[in-house]
Amino acid sequence: MTETFDIGFLLYPELTQLDMTGPAQVLARMPGAKLHFVWKDLELIRDDCGLTFLPTATFADCPQLDMICVPGGYGCTAMMQDTAVLDWLRRQAEGARFVTSVCTGSLILAAAGLMTGYKAGCHWAWREHLAAFGAIPVAERVVEDRNRISGGGVTAGIDFGFRIVEKLHGRDLAEMIQLALEYDPAPLGGGTPETARKPILDKTLAAMAARGFDLRRAEISSLASVR
């Protein structure tokens, strides 16, 4: 009989759903995987584009997890200041085999003190803030440092999921799941600031500013300054 491997995704208001659903879709196909979607209560959670998700466990009744995964999203700065969230992550991290994140989820882990001295990935627009919380920022799709594994921005969560499968069950199974999901990206190019055309980068930054990018950056900086 395959041993159960409990994976818990932190849900919270204004998360980016692909940070969670990307790796969840991959990891759900892993032998023994049991996914938990965890929040303070069992009320519906609305993400940053209007989708809703129903938690399957609360902080109080969630079992000890083998793997914690914290997604990013527009609500991450609130979670970085939420004592209940940070305390739950610290408690779970004590017994978890892997402590992981996608996108700005690494900043939430860092705010909980769980990335201090560890290399970590993050969305390119927020990566620099990791250093202020004791982490070591790395510009890679998936960053692994001991039992801390973090994905870069949003779509990197899918690559992150395959890294976990390969690590636990080998490359053959990871490739089988990849084929079953038809994960064979054919990108346009320019998916990072370094590879994007300058006009596209400028327009993207302007669009992000219109959605509160500068305000969120200032808020994270202020959080770091009071540590």
What CATH number does residue 122 fall under?
3.40.50.880
What's the structural domain count of the chain? 1
103 belongs to the catalytic site: yes
The band of 5, judged by pLDDT with boundaries at 50, 70 and 90, is very high
Q: What is the residue-wise DSSP string for 28-52?
A: TTSTTEEEEEEESSSS-EE-TTS-E
The band of 9, judged by pLDDT with boundaries at 50, 70 and 90, is very high
Residues sharing a CB contact under 8 Å with residue 187, sequence separation 6 or more, in sequence order? none
Instruction: With respect to residue 51, please indicate whether it lies within any of the assigned structural domains.
Output: yes
Instruction: With respect to residue 117, please indicate whether it lies within any of the assigned structural domains.
Output: yes
Which is catalytic among the residues 62, 76, 103, 122? 103
Tens digit of pLDDT for each residue in 99-111? 999 999 999 999 9
What pLDDT does residue 147 have?
A: 98
What is the pLDDT of the chain when averaged over all its residues?
Answer: 95
Tens digit of pLDDT for each residue in 67-83? 999 999 999 999 999 99
Instruction: With respect to residue 19, please indicate whether it lies within any of the assigned structural domains.
Output: yes
- Please state whether 132 falls in left (phi above 0), alpha (psi between -120 and 50) or beta: alpha
Residue 187 has pLDDT above 70, yes or no: yes
Instruction: With respect to residue 159, please indicate whether it lies within any of the assigned structural domains.
Output: yes
Instruction: With respect to residue 200, please indicate whether it lies within any of the assigned structural domains.
Output: no
Instruction: With respect to residue 211, please indicate whether it lies within any of the assigned structural domains.
Output: no
Higher pLDDT, 45 or 187: 45
Residues sharing a CB contact under 8 Å with residue 95, sequence separation 6 or more, in sequence order? 64, 65
Q: Which residues span the domain enclosing 25?
A: 5-187
Higher pLDDT, 1 or 129: 129
What pLDDT does residue 200 have?
A: 93
Residue 206 has pLDDT above 80, yes or no: yes
Average pLDDT of the residues in 148-174: 97
Residue 225 has pLDDT above 80, yes or no: no
Instruction: With respect to residue 214, please indicate whether it lies within any of the assigned structural domains.
Output: no
- Tell me the whole-structure pTM to 2 decimals: 0.94
Instruction: With respect to residue 75, please indicate whether it lies within any of the assigned structural domains.
Output: yes
Average pLDDT of the residues in 151-164: 98
How far, in Å, CA of 174 to CA of 168, rounded? 10
Asked if residue 73 lies in contact with residue 104, where contact means CB atoms within 8 angstroms, the answer is yes
